[in-house]
Amino acid sequence: MNEKIQSESNELDRVLEKVKNQGVDYLSNINKRLTSTKPVIQDKRRLNYSGLGTDETLELFNKRFEPIIVSSSGPRFWGYVTGGSTPASIVGDWLASIYDQNTQGVNGQGDISANIELETINLLLDLFELPETFLGGFVTGATMSSFTCLAVARQWIGKIHNKDFAKDGVTEKINILTATPHSSIIKSLALLGLGSNNIIKVNTIENNREAISISDLENKIKTLNGQPFILVTSGGTVNTVDFDDFVAINKLRIKYKFWWHIDAAFGGFAACSNSHKHLLKDWEHSDSITIDCHKWLNVPYESAVFFVKEEHKILQTESFQNSNAPYLGNPLNNFNYLNFLPENSRRLKALPAWFTLTAYGKEGYNDIVENCISLANLLGEYLEQSEKFKLLAPVRLNNIVFTLNGKENQEKAQLFLTTLNDTGKVFMTPTFFNNKNGIRASFVNWRTTKDDIQIVFEEMNRVIETMWVKPVDNNVLK
Ligand SMILES: *Cc1c(COP(=O)(O)O)cnc(C)c1O
């Protein structure tokens, strides 16, 4: 046996204690850590022959990488849609490494990890107030969740054509209707051989909205002359957090035959807010739903779930079965995640979510979600009241999208953002919306407080002072 590994395994207590202390120190001081750095890393190294041992390796990590790691799970990292991690989720994540299970089936040789996953899916359905008629599983992110859902949709369309696309490949043109899909939907269509060019783009309600126009949707459906199609809808677009009208879409199901997918990567958490859950009304009638856990559930990366209606479980197994033998009988009689989603071997992905859901319950997530919504609104109000900024869309949930006020200042939006991000006090991301250069800030971290909003708004004012000029016509952006 390798001597280094053997001796370290005898000293695990000491080594892990060191890491625990470092982790506690990092998390306790995360408010002070920079949100951006300018790293210069020489990443072309040769492998050390005999190895440094864990202590020295940790020292090297601390010297080379640790000081320039950014506080992406801290309270003022508002770029993309970046969640944090709750204490319980970190415990679950550590234990997932320690127990190191390979989560596949529920009828294995005493391996209960898939049972934990099924239980966690039920807890999530409870959180989102979704019926138990959905089956679900854990994947790495919303991208793979939509990939999984759309793979089942593909098989569903095949069945209508009396084809088995999983076996024979996609031999028909597939129509995909959508208005404002996330980039990951395009990627999934490409991966699945459905072809992103087969998207039939449906208009939005108005120019400055991202929600689908129901009348245009119905017009486009009619041009298909009864052919089945896939409808990809948004439960919170990433720019302006616009929601498609699920009540109206559900009504269309009476007249037309389609697979209804909802990308609710973070917007699904509106279900945790009494004042915002109406945005999701009737979403339970969809065929499949994508939810990210590493966003608003605040568990560490990589974690997301898919929910697919139980009635499609045969199609799902046909799409993902890891066997050349023809499928026999009901897949739930011998349920195995191996035959149900893209990955084969998997870590116990559900454990961080199980811990955090069990530790904080409905009330905990109600608090996290309401807090984020109120902070987005607070910053939104500050920007509305300032003559120097302009919201590009109303605050609908937990994101704000804005630009610099005045046509004279439009070109400076990127400079403003870069200068602001360079302060290291906050991180936001650029966007382009309604023909304007915009900036997004997204609130999905339990740590963020009103103090953070104050700190950032002060910093924003300091930065904008240096570049903003008073517009001749104050309303010129409208
Ligand atoms: C983040 C996001 C995705 C992609 O999620 P990943 O976790 O990065 O794979 C998809 N859709 C929406 C609406 C998102 O916000």
DSSP labels, 152-195? HHHHHHHHHTT--HHHH---SPPPEEESS--HHHHHHHHHTTS-
- Both 220 and 190 in one domain: the answer is yes
Distance between Cα 141 and ligand 1 center (Å):
7
- How is residue 213 written in tokens? 């126009």
- Both 129 and 251 in one domain: the answer is yes
Is the residue at 26 inside a domain?
no
Q: How far is residue 257's CA from residue 83's CA, in Å, rounded to a whole number?
A: 36
Q: In what order do the strands lie in the sheet with 399-404?
A: 389-391, 399-404, 436-442, 429-433
Q: What is the CATH number of the domain that holds 400?
A: 3.90.1150.10
In the block, residue with structure tokens 């011998």: 334
In order, the DSSP letters of 222-277 are HHTTT--EEEEEEBS-TTT--B--HHHHHHHHHH--EEEEEE-TTGGGGGG-TTTG
Is the residue at 445 inside a domain?
yes
- The pocket around ligand 1, CB under 6 angstroms, is made up of 81, 141-143, 182, 184, 236, 238, 263, 265-266, 292, 304
- How is residue 322 written in tokens? 């890891």
- Both 434 and 308 in one domain: the answer is no
- Quote the number of domains for the chain: 2
- Both 149 and 235 in one domain: the answer is yes
- Both 209 and 284 in one domain: the answer is yes
- Among residues 305, 325, 356, the one where a domain terminates is 356
Which among 169, 385, 119, 398 has a CA at the least distance from the CA of 266?
398
Task: Give the residue whose CA is nearest to atom 10 of ligand 1.
Answer: 142
Q: How far is residue 228's CA from residue 240's CA, in Å, rounded to a whole number?
A: 30
Instruction: Mention every residue, 6+ apart, whose C-beta is less than 8 A from residue 338.
Output: 104, 105, 322, 344
Atom of ligand 1 nearest to the CA of 235: 13
- Both 95 and 170 in one domain: the answer is yes
Residue type at 350?
Answer: A
Q: How far is residue 468's CA from residue 330's CA, in Å, rounded to a whole number?
A: 65
Phi, psi of 349 (to 5 degrees): -60, -30
Q: What is the CATH number of the domain that holds 118?
A: 3.40.640.10
Distance between Cα 330 and ligand 1 center (Å):
32
Atom of ligand 1 nearest to the CA of 143: 9
Is the residue at 202 inside a domain?
yes
> Would you put residue 226 in left (φ > 0), alpha (ψ -120 to 50) or beta?
left
Distance between Cα 83 and ligand 1 center (Å):
12
Distance between Cα 264 and ligand 1 center (Å):
9
Residue 109 is predicted with a pLDDT of: 66
- Both 314 and 381 in one domain: the answer is no
Q: pTM, whole model, 2 decimals?
A: 0.96
Is the residue at 45 inside a domain?
no
Q: How far is residue 74's CA from residue 8's CA, in Å, rounded to a whole number?
A: 32
Ligand 1 pocket test: pick from 139, 184, 280, 305 the residue with the most ligand atoms within 8 Å of its Cβ. 184
Is the residue at 401 inside a domain?
yes
Task: Give the residue whose CA is nearest to atom 7 of ligand 1.
Answer: 141
Residue 475 is predicted with a pLDDT of: 54
Is the residue at 19 inside a domain?
no
Residue 326 is predicted with a pLDDT of: 47
Residue 391, SS3?
strand
Distance between Cα 146 and ligand 1 center (Å):
9
Check: CB of residue 457 under 8 Å from CB of residue 379: yes
Half-sphere exposure of 269 (CA within 13 A, CB side): 34
One pLDDT digit (tens) per residue for the chain, 478 residues: 999 999 999 999 999 999 999 999 999 999 999 999 988 888 888 999 999 999 999 999 999 999 999 999 999 999 999 999 999 999 999 999 999 999 887 766 668 999 999 999 999 999 999 999 999 999 999 999 999 999 999 999 999 999 999 999 999 999 999 999 999 999 999 999 999 999 999 999 988 899 999 999 999 999 999 999 999 999 999 999 999 999 999 999 999 999 999 999 999 999 999 999 999 999 999 999 999 999 999 999 999 999 999 999 999 999 999 875 544 445 556 778 989 999 999 999 999 999 999 999 999 999 999 999 999 999 999 999 999 999 999 999 999 999 999 999 999 999 999 999 999 999 999 999 999 999 999 999 999 999 999 999 999 999 999 999 998 865 555 4
Range of the structural domain that residue 399 is part of: 361-468
- Both 453 and 340 in one domain: the answer is no
Is the residue at 232 inside a domain?
yes
- Among residues 331, 356, 381, the one where a domain terminates is 356
Half-sphere exposure of 211 (CA within 13 A, CB side): 18
Beta strand spans in 66-220 (E):
134-139, 176-178, 199-201
Task: Give the residue whose CA is nearest to atom 14 of ligand 1.
Answer: 265
Ligand 1 pocket test: pick from 178, 238, 243, 288 the residue with the most ligand atoms within 8 Å of its Cβ. 238
- Among residues 324, 356, 388, the one where a domain terminates is 356
- Both 251 and 388 in one domain: the answer is no
Is the residue at 231 inside a domain?
yes
Residue 236 is predicted with a pLDDT of: 97
Report the residue count for the chain.
Answer: 478
- Both 272 and 397 in one domain: the answer is no
Q: What DSSP state is assigned to residue 407?
A: G
Residue 332 is predicted with a pLDDT of: 53
- Both 426 and 448 in one domain: the answer is yes
Packing angle of the helix pair 3-10, 53-64 (nearest 10 deg) = 90
Residue 472 is predicted with a pLDDT of: 85
- Both 330 and 398 in one domain: the answer is no
Residue 324 is predicted with a pLDDT of: 56
Check: CB of residue 303 under 8 Å from CB of residue 297: yes
